[in-house]
Amino acid sequence: MANHPLGFFEGTEMPTAGWWEALWPDPAGVLAAVGLRAEMDAVDLCSGDGWFTLPIAKLARHVVAIDVDPAILDVARHRLAESGITNVEFIAGDAYELAKLVTHPADFVFMANAFHGVPDQTRLVRAIASRLKPAGMLAIVNWQARPREETIVLGEPRGPKTELRMRPERTIKAVEAGGLKLVQHVDVPPYHYGLVFKHPSS
């Protein structure tokens, strides 16, 4: 996957339908736990089919949803249109290019279920940091570093392969190397954790 022509990060394919909704029955609750507030300007990075983009858009002032896969963005576009949402911009592009893709600084950058597959995490975090407002936040939601056989949803092991999963300490180290600082660590049961980062000066 590392050499995919579209530049897909490894182990970040959108799952087949069904179990994602079972694993994430309350995406708005996850977003509240990692700091999304009303009237923020948000970016949903590696947004997939829009399962989190929709509740972000319901709360935020404006959302930019970015994904490298134009076909999955069409699914997201459809999901949000069906709910009558109009404050979203969809951009097909590589997350590394965030600084070029997003023209306005963000209060909140959300990245769920994708950071584990980024080959150069420091490069990505630098790009994100350059688009955060001075008090802006980066929230990363990652799979726990448990063996894949243990993360069962609807009767089957799910999520990225065990070797790709990152302990929180490793994620924190990678993000702090990119210039942001940890401000919050939350549990996201049953199989995830959330980490929130800000500019060190804020």
Ligand X SMILES: C[S@@+](CC[C@H](N)C(=O)[O-])C[C@H]1O[C@@H](n2cnc3c(N)ncnc32)[C@H](O)[C@@H]1O
Which residues would be at the binding site for ligand X (CB under 6 A)?
7-9, 12, 14, 46-48, 51-52, 66-69, 72, 94-95, 112-114
Instruction: Name the residue nearer to ligand X (CB basis): 66 or 132.
Output: 66
- Residue 81: CB minimum distance to ligand X, A: 18
Q: What is the 3-state secondary structure (H, E, C) of the chain?
A: CCCCCCCCCCCCCCCCCCHHHHHCCCHHHHHHHCCCCCCCEEEEECCCCCCCHHHHHHHCCEEEEEECCHHHHHHHHHHHHHCCCCCEEEEECCHHHHHHHCCCCEEEEEEECCHHHCCCHHHHHHHHHHCEEEEEEEEEEEECCCCHHHCEECCEECCCCHHHCCCHHHHHHHHHHCCCEEEEEEEECCCEEEEEEECCCC
Whichever of 31 and 66 has its CB closer to ligand X, that residue is: 66
Closest residue to ligand X, judged by C-beta, is: 48
Q: How far is the CB of 104 from ligand X (least distance, A)?
A: 19
* Least distance between ligand X and beta carbon 2 (Å): 10
Q: Closest approach of Cβ 134 to ligand X, in Å?
A: 25
Greatest Cα-to-Cα distance within the chain, rounded to the nearest angstrom = 46
Q: Judged by CB, which is closer to ligand X: 10, or 181?
A: 10
Looking at the Cβ atoms of 145 and 181, the one nearer to ligand X is: 145
**Which is closer to ligand X, CB of 21 or CB of 181?**
21
Using only C-alpha atoms, what is the Rg of the chain? 16
Beta carbon of residue 185, minimum distance to ligand X (angstroms, whole number): 19
